Amino acid sequence: MKITYPHMGNVCIVIKALLTDLGLELVLPPPTSRRTVELGVRYSHEFACFPFKLNLGNYLEAYELGADTILMAGGVGPCRFGYYAQVQQQILEDLGVKMEMVVLEPPDVSFHEVKDKIHYLIGDLPWWQVFKAVRFAWSKARAIDTIEEKLLYFRPRVKEPIKLEGYFRETLKEIDEAADRREVERVVNSFLKKSEIMPQLSVKPLKVGLVGEIFTLLEPFANYDMERRLGLLGVEVTRSVWLSAWINEHLCRGLLRVRTECSDDKKLAAPYLNSFVGGHGVETVGCTVGFAQRNYDGVIQLAPLTCMPEIVAHSVFPAVSEDYQIPLLTFYLDELSGEAGLQTRLEAFVDLISAYSRKKEGVL
Amino acid sequence: MNVMWDIIPIGIKINFFYTNKGLDDMVKIGIPRALFYYYYYPLWREFFQNVGMEVILSPETNKEILDNGIKATLSEACLPVKVFFGHVIALADQVDYLFVPRITKVEPKAYICPKFMGLPDMLRARLHNLPHLIDTVVDTSSDGNSTQCWTDCLQEVGSMWTNNKHLVDSSIVAALQEQNRFKQHLLDGILLPDAIEGTVIPEVAAASHPQQTIQIGVLGHPYNLYDPYISMNLFKKLYSLGASVVTPESLAENDIAKKAGMLPKRIFWTLGKRMIGSALNFLENKQLDGLIYLTSFGCGPESLVEELVVRWTKKQDRIPLMMLTIDEHTGEAGIITRLEAFTEMIKRRHKA
Amino acid sequence: MDLYLGIDVGSVSTNLILIDHQGELYLSPLYLRTQGQPIAVLKQGLALLEERLSATDRICGAGTTGSGRSLAGALIGADIVKNEITAHSVAALSQVPQVRTVLEIGGQDSKIIILKSGIVVDFAMNTVCAAGTGSFLDQQANRLNLSIEDFGDIALQSTNPVRIAGRCTVFAESDMIHKQQMGHTLPDIVAGLCEALVRNYLNNIGKGMEIKSPVVFQGGVAANAGICSAFRRALETDIIVPQHFDVMGAYGAAILARDYTIEHGCETQFRGFGVTLLEFQNRSFICKGCPNACEIIEIKQGKEVLARWGDRCGRWTVAESA
């Protein structure tokens, strides 16, 4: 059994750590590239969401490398994500691609479903070994979040952001290669030390909150490196979703304690969106209100084109923007998004919020 | 109307439907002729009339309604949502209240579409000067069913209106009876527009006439299929091309559910499940010469459901399938050409 | 005289403009076709400008904008490299200080900018296709055998514009042919096309925007009287077309350069008109550093790398000169 799984940002490092420790053989798809997109788009429905297409591309590229089993998360609606696997499997079957799909998702009928799937994957591995693997993978997830958070903080502040990015990539690689938790801790600390002593600019960066659908938030390929573009324009970005918080919520059913800046924002959505609408619709609205209340200069929403929950969230934005007088910008992303237009809109948005914030401070 | 809807203290029962008009002047409740109108109008109409309100239905979709809807919504929203907004705008200054229930689940473990779940919020955020929205939640509990969720909803709506519990209960009974009669008419083969209001539209009725030369199964959500402006008179056109039509509405719920249950994973959209189940029924129906699947541009669930239907139809390789994707820019000329070509092809197959 | 240079390198045209301290235009602006060769056109434009300057004229600041802004900025040594939205709004503000809405339609893109007390509060750019841009008109004029200059006047003769449907140029074109075959008059069809463009524009990028007057209409298409009148009807307000409507991007860039150099009290980075004599090499290559396979663009002058961009990771990027 050669297992593969779709990419979503740096989540591959975490899953790799977990599965390797569980004694499974892995075949990682190559990082998402133009070719991945082309493959995925060719075999998907035109209006299928962008993550669906990228996933499919990942599978096909992993298949070329010899993978025969796909590990995938699922759901029970109403976001389309919950039905990806079944349609993808049909597409693969019609293409004559023989791959088994194991979907980890909340049980529909009973917990046995989950247990059976896990048993299918790892057999009779002793529980302490499973526990050890989970704990190790978790430490990597936390480590990645820590250095990403620092990267977002320092990128607009340091004089040499490109050099900082270099440190970041090295550290990421070291986390991936780290063999134990102590090593993970060591490389994270060394990154923190290196970034803290870098010479800084004297200007105070603008602050922008990033909200929206999780895949487009976490996968730089899908969001055209939005965080990097903003950072280099001198903007400190705060993301509403973090990898470890997502893992905790979706795979560990919220058992662990993960605090993020936006942990309590969900309930702020109520005056604008008072119903569950699937996906991260309510979180998007709630976090937008949260960022506004914390005096951010602007909020950017990211969503795959045709994403239903995010369209609902976007639809109520005018009311939020009016109440809090905060500039909001939405990007619907897919394989056809033009990079030049995206950059121009980002730059114009940054000019807009900087004029806004100067006006607020009474400079203008 | 001067009702302070928002500041009524929780827990104190007040007659919400207060009106300062004369006694003879009935309170007007508006129902947009869009989306769930095509599923539940008989139920709603009967209920509101029985509790003593005047039901105002928006006119049939026209250019003004569509244009207003397009203007008020995001371009990313789907056509049915745009049309719904247009109908709400058409009713806004004519009624005291608008009935826009927040329909989340009408059966256990399956949702209506995310966009429809957020309708009341989207309306409030994007339209100003709306009449009061009655956005009571319709949400089936895990052991409930479609009757129970509507009974609960209407009871809540009724209790805002009157303290006469007996009146509310009897109105609900009458409403459910009306809804059942409507469903029975559909099963009897009467097309939805006739069944829903009891009016007879000759062309539409004739389209289901069995003496036509070919029979076509038409898949699609009722709010697209039966809105003549949206579907560009699909049924009438098919009839004039010598085709009679069979629709998902003529299938028994059980048959649809049984087929949909054959899927590897339960589909968690009520409407999507209807499409899959109907498609599988149609694929087995030897009487049918062709299938037409009408979808609206940018429909989320359809991008997955349609994918499966297309793949299965291809695999079965017996019935030809034509996809028609419509949006506000669709030109009628293009639709006519495609329908002509499709029916022509089927007729030629017959001769061969 | 002390002058400020503004350059707008777009996909269709490259515009150069000079202004003085007061923001008054010096000489007439240059309007050149980019023709896919931004470097050559830029050098040509600078050479033309140099010929017209007197010995006492001095460039005290230079700004670039447009889709080729980074390239042009690196080449000439711009003091400021700005996106088109900001450049256009600055230019519109300088002409109509009370402006609330800027409509801009160029050859291959279009934008709308909403302002409030002199500050941009909202904006949008066309994302979908060309149906709301000038190339739509160019194509249809071509099909009708009309010159684009006559287009607007013919539209004004119409008494009953036909409704032409279609989300994109291809569909609009087939619908237009259909209307022609049904026997509508030429002015009605031409006016219908103008209305279709305005409708597409307002429904796509103008969607949800609070369009308030004064409305300023700029970009190459603003020359078209038919479009102006279609906007006037659709928005039910007067439309202001500034005198130099077709070079407003460059004008904005010049103003930005002026304000920047004055605010920072710095010497200009402008490399002088000598750059027209220099040889630049531009090349692109695929980076093999990782599977992302980024396409890197590099501009060199002799052995010196002036600028490099296109990589996602930053290993190739040479800091822009802004």
Q: Does A95 contact chain B (CB < 8 Å)?
A: no
Fold of A201-364: Rossmann fold (3.40.50)
Residues of chain B with CATH 3.40.50.11900: 201-351
Ranges of each domain in chain A: 2-125, 131-155+158-200, 201-364
Q: Does B300 sit within 8 Å of A318, measured CB to CB? A: no
Q: Does C277 contact chain A (CB < 8 Å)?
A: no
Q: How far is B32 from chain C (nearest CA, A)?
A: 22
Q: Does C127 sit within 8 Å of A347, measured CB to CB? A: no
Task: Tell me which chain C residue has its CA closest to the CA of residue A317.
Answer: C208
Q: Does A309 sit within 8 Å of B114, measured CB to CB? A: yes
What amino acid occupies position B179? Q
List chain A residues with CB under 8 Å of B301.
80, 308
Q: Provide the pLDDT for residue B11.
A: 33
List, for residues B243-256, the tens digit of each pLDDT value: 988 899 988 888 99
Count of domains forming chain C: 3
Q: Does A220 sit within 8 Å of C127, measured CB to CB? A: no
CA C256 to chain CA centroid, Å, is 16
Tell me which residue of B17, B157, B22, B172 sits closest to B96, measured CA to CA: B17
Q: C-alpha angle with apex C194: C188 to C198, nearest 5 degrees?
A: 140
Q: What are phi and psi of A274, to 5 degrees?
A: -105, 35
Q: How far is A77 from chain B (nearest CA, A)?
A: 6
List, for residues A170-187, the tens digit of each pLDDT value: 999 999 999 999 999 999
Q: Which two tokens stand for residue A12?
A: 């591959």
User: What's the rounded mean pLDDT across residues A297-316?
Assistant: 92
Q: Which of 329-358 (A) contact B at CB < 8 A?
A: 332
How far apart, in Å, are the Cα atoms of C149 and each of B101, C224, C232? 55, 7, 20
Q: Which of 311-330 (B) contact C at CB < 8 A?
A: 327, 329
Does pLDDT of A208 surpass 70?
Answer: yes
Q: Does B114 sit within 8 Å of A281, measured CB to CB? A: yes
List chain B residues with CB under 8 Å of A273.
118, 121
The answer to whether residues B26 and B52 touch, using CB atoms and an 8 Å cutoff, is yes
Q: Which two tokens stand for residue A320?
A: 């939020």
Q: Complex ipTM, two decimals?
A: 0.85
Whole-angstrom Cα distance, residue C252 to residue C219?
Answer: 12
The answer to whether residues A10 and A144 touch, using CB atoms and an 8 Å cutoff, is yes
List chain B residues with CB under 8 Å of A277.
114-115, 117-118
Is C219 found in the same domain as C125?
yes
Is CATH 3.40.50.11900 correct for B201-351? yes
Q: How far is B329 from chain C (nearest CA, A)?
A: 5
Q: Does B327 sit within 8 Å of C175, measured CB to CB? A: no
Q: Provide the pLDDT for residue C285.
A: 85
Q: Which DSSP string corresponds to C70-127?
A: HHHHHHHT-SEE--HHHHHHHHHHHH-TT--EEEEE-SS-EEEEEEETTEEEEEEE--
Q: How far is B194 from chain A (nearest CA, A)?
A: 32
Class of CATH domain B5-185: alpha beta
Q: Comparing A35-39, A316-320, B241-245, C121-125, which segment has the lowest mean pLDDT?
A: C121-125
Q: How far is A264 from chain B (nearest CA, A)?
A: 21
Task: Tell me which chain C residue has its CA closest to the CA of residue B125.
Answer: C208
List chain A residues with CB under 8 Å of C263.
none
- Percentage with pLDDT > 90 across chain A: 56
Q: How far is B268 from chain C (nearest CA, A)?
A: 32
Which pLDDT band holds residue B8 (cuts at 50, 70, 90)?
A: very low
Q: Provide the pLDDT for residue B1.
A: 33
The answer to whether residues C254 and C4 touch, using CB atoms and an 8 Å cutoff, is yes
Determine which of C67, C71, C83 to mutate to test the interface with A (most A C-beta atoms within 10 Å): C83
Q: Provide the pLDDT for residue B16.
A: 44
**Chain C: which residues have CB within 8 Å of chain B?**
165-167, 171, 174-175, 178, 203-204, 207-208
Pairs across A and B, CB distance < 8 A: 129
The answer to whether residues A289 and A265 touch, using CB atoms and an 8 Å cutoff, is yes
pTM of the model: 0.82
Q: Provide the pLDDT for residue C175.
A: 77
For the ranges B214-223, B304-313, C27-36, C308-317, the maximum mean pLDDT occurs at: B214-223
Q: Neighbours of C (≥3 Cβ pairs closer than 8 A)?
A: A, B
Q: Provide the pLDDT for residue A107.
A: 67
Domain A2-125 architecture: 3-Layer(aba) Sandwich (3.40)
Determine which of A83, A90, A101, A273 to mutate to test the interface with B (most B C-beta atoms within 10 Å): A83
Q: Which of C241, C263, C295 is the last residue of a domain?
A: C241
The answer to whether residues C59 and C19 touch, using CB atoms and an 8 Å cutoff, is no
* Least CB–CB distance from B115: residue in A46, A86, A312: A312
How far apart, in Å, are the Cα atoms of C227 and each of C13, C36, C59, C198, C208? 20, 27, 37, 7, 21
Q: Does B331 sit within 8 Å of C166, measured CB to CB? A: yes
Tell me which residue of C264, C237, C247, C257 sits closest to C95, measured CA to CA: C247
User: What's the rounded mean pLDDT across residues B88-105?
Assistant: 93
Q: Provide the pLDDT for residue A252.
A: 66
Q: Does C315 contact chain A (CB < 8 Å)?
A: yes
Determine which of B88, B263, B265 to mutate to test the interface with A (most A C-beta atoms within 10 Å): B265
**Does residue C270 or residue A105 have the better pLDDT?**
C270
Whole-angstrom Cα distance, residue B147 to residue C276?
Answer: 80
Whole-angstrom Cα distance, residue B280 to residue B219?
Answer: 11
Measure the N-to-C terminal CA separation of chain C; round to a whole number of Å. Answer: 24
**Does residue B262 or residue C251 have the better pLDDT?**
C251
Q: Does B7 contact chain C (CB < 8 Å)?
A: no
The answer to whether residues C242 and C248 touch, using CB atoms and an 8 Å cutoff, is yes
Q: Does A41 contact chain B (CB < 8 Å)?
A: no
Whole-angstrom Cα distance, residue C1 to residue C18?
Answer: 11
Q: Which two tokens stand for residue B84?
A: 């719904």
Q: C-alpha angle with apex A238: A234 to A242, nearest 5 degrees?
A: 140
Whole-angstrom Cα distance, residue C314 to residue B23?
Answer: 75
Q: How far is A20 from chain C (nearest CA, A)?
A: 23
Q: Cβ neighbours of residue A271 under 8 Å, at least 6 residues apart?
A: none
Three-class DSSP labels, C219-236: CHHHHCHHHHHHHHHHHC
Which pLDDT band holds residue B20 (cuts at 50, 70, 90)?
A: very low
Q: Provide the pLDDT for residue A65.
A: 94
Q: How far is C119 from chain A (nearest CA, A)?
A: 7
Exposure string for A64-84, b = 16+ CB within 10 A, e = fewer: eeebbbbbbbbbbbbbbbbbb
Q: Does C208 contact chain A (CB < 8 Å)?
A: yes
Is C231 found in the same domain as C111?
yes
Q: Provide the pLDDT for residue B58.
A: 95
**Chain B: which residues have CB within 8 Å of chain A?**
73-74, 76-77, 102, 104, 109-115, 117-118, 120-122, 124-126, 137, 263-269, 297-304, 306-308, 311, 315
Q: What is the mean pLDDT of each run of 10 residues along chain C (322 residues)?
A: 92 90 89 85 91 90 90 91 91 93 87 86 71 77 83 89 71 77 88 87 78 92 92 93 92 94 88 84 81 78 80 67 34
CATH code, domain with C131: 3.30.420.40
Q: Does B122 sit within 8 Å of A274, measured CB to CB? A: no
Q: How far is C167 from chain B (nearest CA, A)?
A: 6
Q: Does B331 sit within 8 Å of C203, measured CB to CB? A: no
Q: Does C290 sit within 8 Å of A352, measured CB to CB? A: no
Q: Does C97 contact chain A (CB < 8 Å)?
A: no
Q: Does A38 contact chain C (CB < 8 Å)?
A: no
Lay out the sheet containing C215-218: strands in order across: C119-125, C110-116, C101-105, C215-218, C239-240
Asked whether the bond before A78 is cis by omega within 30 degrees of 0, the reply is: yes
Same fold for the pair A2-125 and A201-364: yes
Is C227 found in the same domain as C148?
yes
How far apart, in Å, are the Cα atoms of B268 and each of A195, B140, B272, B337? 47, 13, 8, 36
Does pLDDT of A105 surpass 80?
Answer: no
* Least CB–CB distance from A31: residue in C127, C290, C317: C290
Q: Provide the pLDDT for residue B278.
A: 94
Q: Cβ neighbours of residue B80 under 8 Å, at least 6 residues apart?
A: B34, B35, B221, B223, B224, B230, B296, B299
List chain A residues with CB under 8 Å of C84.
344, 348
Is C158 found in the same domain as C69?
no
Whole-angstrom Cα distance, residue C196 to residue A90?
Answer: 42
Asked whether the bond before C214 is cis by omega within 30 degrees of 0, the reply is: yes
Q: Determine the 3-state secondary structure of C308 from DSSP.
A: strand
What amino acid occupies position B316? Q
Residue C289: give the domain boundaries.
279-322
